[in-house]
């Protein structure tokens, strides 16, 4: 699930994308296909527990799946995935909106939801791999225009007591050894470069209170 704390502070070692340094790192980054795929669909999670659905909607749009009609106001002549219309019949059999509103979703629930769409998905638990494997898997994914949703415990990265969170990975810089996370809790956090070691700790240490497993990530791509 996606946890939250009220007063976020910037921790040393993190670099906001919207800073001279953050932009320079972006320019010198090889692995950034994901950024271009995702940024036209960058959204804010619509409530405190919807980091998962927001990340799913961005991913499905970025991968150019055939979207359903929008439901908001008079936009129903247009199609795009959003945090409401992803809950179709198949998804509702796996998890209901209200359950996510109450307690978020686990990495495995997200995996099952993504599997109902016309996608290939691979799930990885941080505790099953080492940091080197983590990097190599994500580099290969970005190079092949796959999308990575990362599920991490935020307290290893930010000055916060909150833990579980989902957001898509925007890019990876191999020289700086940093990930760009397109954080869907945009009311709190800007897109930010995060040191790989911190991010690996945040997916491999600690355990989801519901699933009793470590966090991890999912790689999604079109068949």
Using the rule CB under 8 A, is 103 a contact of a copy of itself? Answer: no
Task: Copy the structure tokens of residue 191.
Answer: 């897109």
Residue 42 vs 172, nearer CB to a copy of itself: 42
Among 21, 71, 79, 88, binds a copy of itself (CB under 8 A): 79
- Could you give the C-alpha distances from 182 to 22, 45, 98, 138, 210, in angstroms and in order? 13, 12, 25, 15, 25
Q: Is 73 in the site for a copy of itself (CB under 8 A)?
A: yes
Element (DSSP H or E) covering residue 171 = strand 164-173
| Residue with Cβ nearer a copy of itself (47 or 92) | 47
Number of residues that bind a copy of itself (CB under 8 A): 31
Distance CA 190, CA 17 (A): 7
By CB under 8 A, tell whether 72 contacts a copy of itself: yes
What is the distance between the alpha carbons of residues 126 and 97, in angstroms, rounded to a whole number?
26
Of the candidate spans 73-81, 107-115, 126-134, 160-168, the one that interacts with a copy of itself by CB under 8 A turns out to be: 73-81
Of positions 191, 199, 202, 204, contacts a copy of itself by CB under 8 A: 191
Q: Is 10 or 78 the residue whose CB approaches a copy of itself more closely?
A: 78
Number of Cβ atoms within 10 Å of the Cβ of 102: 10
44, 105, 141, 173, 211 from 108: Cα distances, Å: 22, 8, 19, 28, 8
Q: Which string of x and - marks every residue 14-53 that binds a copy of itself (by CB under 8 A)? A: ---xx---xx---x--------xx-xxxxxx-xxx-----
165 versus 188: smaller Cβ distance to a copy of itself: 188
Q: Segment contacting a copy of itself (CB under 8 A): 90-98, 111-119, 183-191, 209-217?
A: 183-191
DSSP symbols for 83-121: TTTT--HHHHHH--HHHHHHH---HHHHHHHHHTSS-EE
1 within 8 A of 110, measured Cβ to Cβ? no
Q: Which residues sit at the interface with a copy of itself, rule CB under 8 A?
A: 6, 17-18, 22-23, 27, 36-37, 39-44, 46-48, 70, 72-75, 77-80, 186-188, 190-191
């Amino acid at each position: 699930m996606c946890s939250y704390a009220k007063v976020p502070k910037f921790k040393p070692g993190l670099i906001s994308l919207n800073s001279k340094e953050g932009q320079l790192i972006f320019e010198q980054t090889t692995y950034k296909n994901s950024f271009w795929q995702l940024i036209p669909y960058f959204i804010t999670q619509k409530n405190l527990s919807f980091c998962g659905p927001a990340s799913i909607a961005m991913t499905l749009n970025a991968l150019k799946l055939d979207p359903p009609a929008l439901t908001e106001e008079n936009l129903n002549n247009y199609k795009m995935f959003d945090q409401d219309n992803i809950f179709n019949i198949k998804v509702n059999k796996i998890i209901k909106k209200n359950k996510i509103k109450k307690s978020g979703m686990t990495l495995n629930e997200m995996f099952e939801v993504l599997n109902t769409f016309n996608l290939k998905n691979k799930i990885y638990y941080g505790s099953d791999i080492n940091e080197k494997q983590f990097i190599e898997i994500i580099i290969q994914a970005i190079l092949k225009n796959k999308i990575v949703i990362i599920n991490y415990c935020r307290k290893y990265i930010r000055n916060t007591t909150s833990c579980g969170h989902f957001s898509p990975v925007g890019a990876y810089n191999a020289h700086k050894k940093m990930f760009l996370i397109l954080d869907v809790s945009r009311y709190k956090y800007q897109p930010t470069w995060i040191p790989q070691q911190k991010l690996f700790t945040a997916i491999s240490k600690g355990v989801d209170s519901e699933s009793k497993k470590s966090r991890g990530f999912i790689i999604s791509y079109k068949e």
